[in-house]
Amino acid sequence: MPELPEVETIARQLRAALVGHHFGRAVLLRPDVLHGEVRGFARSIVDRRVVAVDRRAKRLIITFQPQAQLFFHLGMSGRVVMENVTAPPAKHTHLRIAIRGNETELRFIDPRRFGGIWFVTKGKEPAGRGMGEVGPEPLEIKLSDFRHLLQRRARIKSLLMDQRRIAGLGNIYCCEALHRAGIHPLTPAHSIDSPDAARLLREIKSVLRHAIRFEGSTYMDYRGANGEPGSFQRFHRVYQREDQPCLACQRPIERIVTSGRSTFFCPRCQPLSPNL
């Protein structure tokens, strides 16, 4: 489940591998993963020089000359990896792009196909499922703006998961940040007081930076662009730890479902205020 730290890791690795290089031949094995200006895609990108690789929200953006971009959304099981051209492609490899004068190629692999690729030119914005409007970056948002975000009735976990409000957080890092901040996931956002809001934002930033340092969390599918798993799962305090003791207080971690998602928390460290 690639969230902000996982996509950031892939972006950094791809940046090192791609910037300054030219795309070679592209082979789209599964055309329905490609959106945007689909017509003539392979012809459009061949021989173009990559000038930047960025991340915005959970999206990976490859920019190349002149005036064209590839957006990747990895969904649940998507991977973007650099592999040797002679290595047999994994099952569910949907796109391969050769790199000129290089033995590695870029491969997009996505078994569950919740992810996708968007190709746009002339500064146009991609649109459609997975490419909707997204809120501010959590590592850049100011405390005053974050406080403003919390002025709604929604439960804090649902709000943090809503990409239109704040970008890049998914199930893992929402659960982890809420535990570290001592806030119950079902707390109405507007009832979080000012010091707790500051604490929550601090913990969000801290857990994201820490996770980036450890190249993300690999629970099942996630791999970096170099094929290596992340190791931040070692530091998970609640995610996927149902019935295991809280690392702070020993109470068993509980799992509930909210907004259709598994949500893990410690009932002692994250009490739900009874007067709500």
Partner DNA sequence: CGCATTTCCTGGAGGC
Partner DNA sequence: TGCCTCCAGGAAATGC
- Which residues are marked as active site? 2-3, 58, 261
Go through the chain and tell me how many residues it has. Answer: 276
CA-CA distances (angstroms) from residue 235 to 62, 219, 230, 248?
Answer: 31, 12, 11, 13
Site string for DNA, 18-57 (x = CB under 7 A): ---------------------------------------x
Residues numbered 233-262 forming contacts with DNA, rule: CB under 7 A:
257-262
Interface pick for DNA out of 9, 69, 93, 171 (rule CB under 7 A): 171
The label of the residue with tokens 């943090």 reads: 160
Among 18, 109, 131, 266, binds DNA (CB under 7 A): 131
Give Cβ neighbours of residue 238 (< 8 Å, ≥ 6 apart): 175, 176, 179, 246, 253, 264, 265, 266
Structure tokens that stand for 54 in this block: 């960025």
Q: Counting contacts by CB under 7 A, is residue 73 touching DNA?
A: yes
How near is the Cβ of 256 to DNA at its closest, in Å? 9
Out of 114, 229, 231, 233, the only residue in the binding site for DNA (CB under 7 A) is 114
Beta carbons of 211 and 2 less than 8 angstroms apart: no
Q: Is 18 helix (H, G, I), strand (E, B) or coil?
A: helix
Asked whether position 136 contacts DNA by CB under 7 A, the answer is no
Which residues are near DNA by CB under 7 A?
Answer: 1, 57-58, 73, 75-77, 91-92, 111-114, 129-132, 152-155, 158-159, 161, 163-164, 170-171, 188, 257-262
